[in-house]
């Protein structure tokens, strides 16, 4: 029981040292209220000193009040100063509140003793003034110290005990009644204080919880839950902040966007949990690689972004990009076989190219897009030529949106020949755009834009219809090769439309080869597998175009029901002079034999190249050496001449 009382007393008389939020709220409330308390205290004190000036000794009416004034003004100034500053550290607040608690009985005792010391000198009015001073001042003090319960309690205790004992001893009924009144009012005040203090504590705790909750929400809203990295939203906030700092500080800034190469097939092959782990590990590697001036974020999927502060020059950026891509190329040890992916990074810089945060982001994205197309697995820095290309892409895009697809687009045909007999075995249909605004536009320029703006499917169908229609006029046995885009295989609907066009054409699908590039394979293996199966069911062949330029692994290729590989022309140029190209083509040809696939070599331009290819056992060839892409009418002439040649 006694222990319980003691514990309650200890709680009542101590500061809540384990609750920093409450301590801070108390400190702030006191710093507003205590200067007021000291002001009232001093005014009341000087009023009492004044009524006793003529009767009480000099040291009681002037010296002591002066000393008290100095002390009170010093304390009031201390609290006033704290209202103008940021709240101090938790430990300092605790020390300050403890100090106040220790000072309160001394100050309360001093004022009480001083006022009671005046009592014997005055007449009945002055003595009543002493009682009034004590009664009214204690109430003000309780009010002002409400947020620091021990201080309010101590003041009440000190003043009331002295008041009751002193005035009860005067045996004057009026003073005894006053003492009882003051005691009762003080007790009522204490009850109110207790309620108020409880409500105050509750309010502060609720506020603290709400703040914690909203901080947590803010953190979650800005964090990528898988990798723990800042998310897209946080990235843009960081970018905007870094940009305004770069503008004011006249410093450089760079943005990098990073896209993993070969992540989707890994995800499809090993499952999403492995894919997720790789993303987490990529996040970790990125964090380890960058310093304090580089902010990493995950934009979503397998795309990450970087804000690089501190004005790095192009050389630094190239070195940084190289290390980053190399590190992400290092194998991930997660399942029984090591997994290898790559990363392409696009970087744009301020103020060299971009003028705003959004422009910086767009240009980095464009650099990434260029990197992905021309040099995957490496860093691509946005340059002046990219800017020109971006502008010209914009013009092309506008013209493409306005183009009449059926009229402006047509196909040319390039023969594919048997390398030994030089017989024409097939023609590859190659799209051309005769734009009224831009003139003749190369497919290398308009196909990527049509893909980006979602126009490619609408372009593929009329071109395929046209090619099939023309191919029907060729002698039986001549094959047609037709290029499909990533997006043509990416959805069931578009595959179905292609199947319908083939079925309606009257051309025997057994003589049709559909060409897909490695980028298609990298997208979504199950979907591509489905599309290929669907085309194979019709009897079409499937060629893998530009083979050797992408990232697909043998196992990925094996998973697809291919019929042909087309070796990219970059390995063919000067093959007879370049041992590296020679070796690459040799191994690619061997691979096609091993996989029991036919093989076509693209881009043969000279007889020397043809001879080298023949010595490697290449059976089918295509290139300017034989013929450039020609109009349909010329294919008929070509075939007729070929017949004559053989005849």
The binding site for Mg ion (CB under 5 A) comprises 483, 515, 545-546, 602
Q: Binding to ligand C2E by residue 408, rule CB under 6 A?
A: no
Say how many Å lie between the first and final Cα of the chain, rounded.
Answer: 123
Q: How far is the CB of 552 from Mg ion (least distance, A)?
A: 15
Q: Binding to ligand C2E by residue 623, rule CB under 6 A?
A: yes
| Set 224, 268, 302, 513: catalytic member | 302
- The angle, 0 to 180 degrees and rounded to 10, between the axes of the packed helices 357-374 and 384-402 is 90
Q: Binding to ligand C2E by residue 430, rule CB under 6 A?
A: yes
What, of Mg ion, ligand C2E, none, does residue 14 touch, CB below 5 to 8 Å by kind?
none
Please name the residues in contact with 229: beta carbons below 8 A apart, sequence gap of 6 or more: 223, 283, 286, 287, 296, 297, 298, 304
Phi, psi of 644 (to 5 degrees): -60, -45
Q: How far is CA 512 from CA 354, 509, 538, 542, 564, in A?
A: 47, 5, 10, 9, 12
Q: Binding to ligand C2E by residue 261, rule CB under 6 A?
A: no
Token pair 């430990």: residue: 91
Report the residue number, 242 or 449, with the smaller CB distance to ligand C2E: 449
Distance CA 246, CA 119 (A): 72
Q: How far is the CB of 576 from ligand C2E (least distance, A)?
A: 15
Give me the 476-515 binding string for ligand C2E, x by CB under 6 A, dash otherwise.
-------xxx-----------------------------x
Closest by Cα among 115, 197, 103 to 151? 103
Q: How far is the CB of 632 from Mg ion (least distance, A)?
A: 18
Q: How far is the CB of 427 from ligand C2E (least distance, A)?
A: 12
Please name the residues in contact with 33: beta carbons below 8 A apart, sequence gap of 6 or more: 143, 144, 145, 146, 147
Say if strands 479-483 and 424-435 run parallel, antiparallel, or are unpaired.
parallel
Instruction: Enumerate residues 550-589 that contact ligand C2E by CB under 6 A.
Output: 569
Task: Using the rule CB under 6 A, give the single segment among 160-168, 280-288, 439-447, 639-647 that binds ligand C2E.
Answer: 439-447
Closest by Cα among 278, 259, 282 to 267? 278
Which residue in the set 370, 466, 603, 619 belongs to the binding site for ligand C2E (CB under 6 A)? 603
Which residue in the set 34, 431, 455, 471 belongs to the binding site for ligand C2E (CB under 6 A)? 431
Which residue in the set 423, 605, 608, 634 belongs to the binding site for ligand C2E (CB under 6 A)? 605
Distance CA 551, CA 525 (A): 13
Q: Binding to ligand C2E by residue 463, rule CB under 6 A?
A: yes
Report the residue number, 303 or 605, with the smaller CB distance to ligand C2E: 605
Convert 448-485 to b/e letters by CB count within 10 Å (16 or more is b): bbbbeeebbbebbbbbbebbbebbeebeeebbbbbbbb
Q: Binding to ligand C2E by residue 530, rule CB under 6 A?
A: no
Please name the residues in contact with 545: beta carbons below 8 A apart, sequence gap of 6 or more: 483, 515, 516, 517, 518, 566
Task: Burial-class residue 281 by CB neighbours within 10 Å (0-12, 13-18, 19+).
Answer: middle
Report the residue number, 261 or 568, with the smaller CB distance to ligand C2E: 568
Q: How far is the CB of 390 from ligand C2E (least distance, A)?
A: 20
Count of residues engaged in binding ligand C2E, rule: CB under 6 A: 23
Report the residue number, 37 or 411, with the smaller CB distance to Mg ion: 411
Task: Using the rule CB under 6 A, give the single segment among 46-54, 353-361, 522-530, 621-629 that binds ligand C2E.
Answer: 621-629
Report the residue number, 344 or 517, with the smaller CB distance to Mg ion: 517
Q: How far is the CB of 595 from ligand C2E (least distance, A)?
A: 20
Contact 87, 27 (CB under 8 A): yes
Distance CA 176, CA 85 (A): 47
What, of Mg ion, ligand C2E, none, does residue 371 touch, CB below 5 to 8 Å by kind?
none
Distance CA 90, CA 112 (A): 33
What, of ligand C2E, Mg ion, none, does residue 605 touch, CB below 5 to 8 Å by kind?
ligand C2E
Report the residue number, 265 or 548, with the smaller CB distance to Mg ion: 548
What, of Mg ion, ligand C2E, none, does residue 629 touch, CB below 5 to 8 Å by kind?
ligand C2E
Report the residue number, 292 or 444, with the smaller CB distance to ligand C2E: 444
Which residue in the set 381, 545, 588, 599 belongs to the binding site for ligand C2E (CB under 6 A)? 545
Report the residue number, 354 or 588, with the smaller CB distance to Mg ion: 588
Element (H, E) at 179: helix 173-221
Please name the residues in contact with 12: beta carbons below 8 A apart, sequence gap of 6 or more: 149, 150, 153
Active site residue 313: no
Report the residue number, 227 or 592, with the smaller CB distance to Mg ion: 592
Q: Binding to ligand C2E by residue 599, rule CB under 6 A?
A: no
Say if strands 424-435 and 439-441 run parallel, antiparallel, or are unpaired.
antiparallel
Distance CA 436, CA 203 (A): 73
Q: How far is the CB of 546 from ligand C2E (least distance, A)?
A: 5
Contact 514, 553 (CB under 8 A): no
Distance CA 567, CA 544 (A): 9
What, of ligand C2E, Mg ion, none, does residue 144 touch, CB below 5 to 8 Å by kind?
none
Sequence-ordered strand ranges (E) for 281-355: 294-300, 303-309, 342-350
DSSP class per residue in 217-247: HHHHHTB-TTT-SB-HHHHHHHHHHHHHHHH
Distance CA 228, CA 201 (A): 35
Which residue in the set 442, 473, 587, 641 belongs to the binding site for ligand C2E (CB under 6 A)? 442
Which residue in the set 261, 268, 524, 546 belongs to the binding site for ligand C2E (CB under 6 A)? 546
Report the residue number, 364 or 588, with the smaller CB distance to ligand C2E: 588
Q: Binding to ligand C2E by residue 444, rule CB under 6 A?
A: yes
Element (H, E) at 410: strand 409-418
Which residue in the set 66, 624, 637, 640 belongs to the binding site for ligand C2E (CB under 6 A)? 624
Q: How far is the CB of 387 from ligand C2E (least distance, A)?
A: 24
Q: Binding to ligand C2E by residue 543, rule CB under 6 A?
A: no
Task: Using the rule CB under 6 A, give the single segment among 116-124, 226-234, 285-293, 616-624 that binds ligand C2E.
Answer: 616-624
Q: Binding to ligand C2E by residue 629, rule CB under 6 A?
A: yes
What, of Mg ion, ligand C2E, none, does residue 189 touch, CB below 5 to 8 Å by kind?
none
Q: Binding to ligand C2E by residue 414, rule CB under 6 A?
A: yes
Which one-letter DSSP state was computed for residue 630? Answer: B
Contact 133, 117 (CB under 8 A): no
Report the residue number, 302 or 518, with the smaller CB distance to ligand C2E: 518
Distance CA 374, CA 370 (A): 6
Phi, psi of 13 (to 5 degrees): -100, 5
Kindly list the catalytic residues.
Answer: 302
- Contact footprint for ligand C2E (CB under 6 A): 414, 430-431, 442-444, 447, 463, 483-485, 515, 545-546, 569, 602-605, 622-624, 629
């Amino acid at each position: 029981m006694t222990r319980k009382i003691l514990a309650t007393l200890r709680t009542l008389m101590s500061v809540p040292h384990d609750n920093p939020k409450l301590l801070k709220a108390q400190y702030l409330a006191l710093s507003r209220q205590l200067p007021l308390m000291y002001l009232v205290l001093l005014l009341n004190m000087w009023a009492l000193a004044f009524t006793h000036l003529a009767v009480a000794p000099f040291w009681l009416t002037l010296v002591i009040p002066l000393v008290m004034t100095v002390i009170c003004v010093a304390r009031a100034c201390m609290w006033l100063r704290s209202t103008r500053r940021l709240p101090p550290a938790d430990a300092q607040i605790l020390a300050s509140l403890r100090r106040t608690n220790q000072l309160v009985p001394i100050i309360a005792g001093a004022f009480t003793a001083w006022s009671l010391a005046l009592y014997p000198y005055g007449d009945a009015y002055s003595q009543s003034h002493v009682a009034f001073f004590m009664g009214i001042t204690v109430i003000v003090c309780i009010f002002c110290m409400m947020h620091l319960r021990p201080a309010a309690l101590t003041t009440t205790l000190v003043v009331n005990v002295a008041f009751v004992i002193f005035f009860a001893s005067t045996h004057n009924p009026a003073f005894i009644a006053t003492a009882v009144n003051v005691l009762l009012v003080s007790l009522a005040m204490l009850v109110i204080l207790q309620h108020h203090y409880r409500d105050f504590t509750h309010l502060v705790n609720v506020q603290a919880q709400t703040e914690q909750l909203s901080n947590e929400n803010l953190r979650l809203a800005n964090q990528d839950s898988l990798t723990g990295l800042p998310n897209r939203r946080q990235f843009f906030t960081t970018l905007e902040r870094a940009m305004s700092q770069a503008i004011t500080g006249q410093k450089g800034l760079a943005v990098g966007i990073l896209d993993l190469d070969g992540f989707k097939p890994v995800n499809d092959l090993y499952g999403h949990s492995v894919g997720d782990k790789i993303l987490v590990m990529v996040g970790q590697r990125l964090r380890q690689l960058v310093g304090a001036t580089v902010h990493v974020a995950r934009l979503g999927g397998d795309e990450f972004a970087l804000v690089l502060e501190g004005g790095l020059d192009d050389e630094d950026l190239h070195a940084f990009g190289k290390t980053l891509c190399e590190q992400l190329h290092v194998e991930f040890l997660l399942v029984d076989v090591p997994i290898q992916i790559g990363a392409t990074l696009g970087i744009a810089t301020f103020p060299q190219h971009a003028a705003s945060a959004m422009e910086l982001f767009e240009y980095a994205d464009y650099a990434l897009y260029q990197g992905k197309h021309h040099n995957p697995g490496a860093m691509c820095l946005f340059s002046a030529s990219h800017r020109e290309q971006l502008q010209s892409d914009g013009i092309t895009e506008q013209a493409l949106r306005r183009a009449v697809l059926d009229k402006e687009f047509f196909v040319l045909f390039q023969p594919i020949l048997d390398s030994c007999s030089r017989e024409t075995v097939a023609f590859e249909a190659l799209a051309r755009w005769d734009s009224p605004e831009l003139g003749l536009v190369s497919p290398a320029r308009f196909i990527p834009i049509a893909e980006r703006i979602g126009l490619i499917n609408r372009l593929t169908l009329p071109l395929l219809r046209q090619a099939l229609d023309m191919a029907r006029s060729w002698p039986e046995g001549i094959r047609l090769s037709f290029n499909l885009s990533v997006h043509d295989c990416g959805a069931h609907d578009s595959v179905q439309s292609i199947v319908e066009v083939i079925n309606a054409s009257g051309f025997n699908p057994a003589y049709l080869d559909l060409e897909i590039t490695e980028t298609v394979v990298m997208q979504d293996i199950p979907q591509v597998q489905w599309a290929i199966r669907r085309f194979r069911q019709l009897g079409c062949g499937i060629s893998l175009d530009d083979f050797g330029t992408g990232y697909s692994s043998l196992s990925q290729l094996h998973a697809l029901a291919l019929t042909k590989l087309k070796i990219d022309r970059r390995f063919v140029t000067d093959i007879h002079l370049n041992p590296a190209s020679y070796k690459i083509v040799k191994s690619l040809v061997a691979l096609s034999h091993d996989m029991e696939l036919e093989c076509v070599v693209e881009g043969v331009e000279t007889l020397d190249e043809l001879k080298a290819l023949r010595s490697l056992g290449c059976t089918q060839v295509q290139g300017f050496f034989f013929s450039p892409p020609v109009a349909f009418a010329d294919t008929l002439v070509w075939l007729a001449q070929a017949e004559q040649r053989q005849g």
